[in-house]
Amino acid sequence: MANFKGNELYIHGSGLKTGILLTNLGTPDEPTPPSLKTYLRQFLSDGRVIETPKAIWWFILNGIVLRTRPAKSAKAYQSVWTDDGSPLLLYTQKQKNLIKKQLEKKYPNLIFDIGMRYGNPSIAEGLNNLRNQNCDRIIVLPLYPQYCAATTGSTFDAVALELQQWRWVPSLRFIGSYYDQPLYIQALKNSIEEFWSKNDKPKKLLFSYHGIPKKYLDKGDPYHCFCRKTTRLVAESMNLPEGSYMTTFQSRFGPAEWLQPYTDKTIESLAKEGTDDIHVISPAFSSDCLETIEELNEENREIFMENGGKKFGYIPCLNDREDHILLLTSLLENELHGWV
């Protein structure tokens, strides 16, 4: 017999509320091999992330990946972990609190929470917190500017899976992307110009996005196009000369071809060819995390310097910048129309 989740504490006739759920990829609970093994098992078992046939991938994941990668990943996470925990989780919490502060001035009956696609707090936990506070309308904002099936699509799957278990299914609004929103482009422009005001302009600016296997593009994923449009819009807004900037893709793993050009290979080539002063920004990440702090600012800096580079600048993610909060608040306020 079906057993759907209800809210026994709800009193009929009482006021209902609108819930806002911010989501991001997630983080392990601790920077330790056991915690990383749990996190990676969940992450790499997602069929949206790994589209290899399940039977084949099960043996690869359990026989190879989870035997070797947790220890290596734990070491990397330890290098970015703070006294308060994971940077990604901390920034997401800050973003939620700042957005709440702005929206509560105009809309008093909003409830806010966060949920991570993998790890804790989960999307299911965040949704249930909203349900338990009598939210019959929910807006979900995945903090991925460029839609990708492996991130935004997977988030929708997790939301739908949880809502299937509810007796009272809420009205739902889901923000799929914001890669070309003017306030997003403006925030990126501002962050670059502020960095340049303190560090001078480089010879080359790299827009580095998280990569995906090329076969996902071939199957129709729009992510690649959205990334390139973000770069183009920022470059146009700043009047950047052609050839002074590039779009690259990072964080590949496995033997398959991913979106190119690869960030690390590009950085190495630029250094060897005499471009000794570069800056890197990663617009696909709403918060600094392992892939930006450790991979870009540490690993890729080292690659650049070892191959003849002299000046390497990493431009931080938008994080809790005021213009970023303005963007996210605006996205949510657009969805609130007709509800509050």
> Given this model, what pLDDT does residue 10 score?
66
Residue 185: predicted pLDDT? 99
Residue 3 pLDDT:
85
How confident is the model at residue 201, as a pLDDT? 96
**How many whole angstroms separate alpha carbon 23 and alpha carbon 15?**
26
CA gap 66, 153 in Å, rounded = 25
Mean pLDDT by 10-residue block, N- to C-terminus, for the chain (340 residues)?
75 80 98 98 97 95 96 97 97 99 94 99 98 96 99 99 96 99 99 97 98 98 99 99 98 94 98 98 98 98 98 99 99 95
Residues of the chain with CATH 3.40.50.1400: 17-178+323-336, 182-315
pLDDT number for residue 304: 98
pLDDT at 149: 99
Q: Which CATH number fits domain 182-315: 3.40.630.30, 3.40.50.1400, 3.40.50.2000, 3.40.47.10?
A: 3.40.50.1400
Q: What is the pLDDT of residue 1?
A: 57
DSSP strand pairing (204-210 vs 171-174): unpaired
Q: What's residue 307's pLDDT?
A: 98
Query: Is the bond leading into 283 cis (omega within 30 degrees of zero)?
Result: no
pLDDT of amino acid 71: 97
Residues 112, 48, 90, 29, CA torsion sign = positive
Rounded CA-CA distance 26/92 in Å is: 10
Contact 184, 178 (CB under 8 A): yes
Q: Given this model, what pLDDT does residue 11 score?
A: 64
Pairing of strands 277-281, 204-210: parallel
CATH fold group of domain 17-178+323-336: Rossmann fold (3.40.50)
From the list 295, 310, 304, 311, the residue with the least C-alpha distance to 268 is 304
Q: How far apart are CA 289 and CA 95, in angstroms?
A: 14
Angle, in degrees to the nearest 10, between helices 154-163 and 123-131:
40
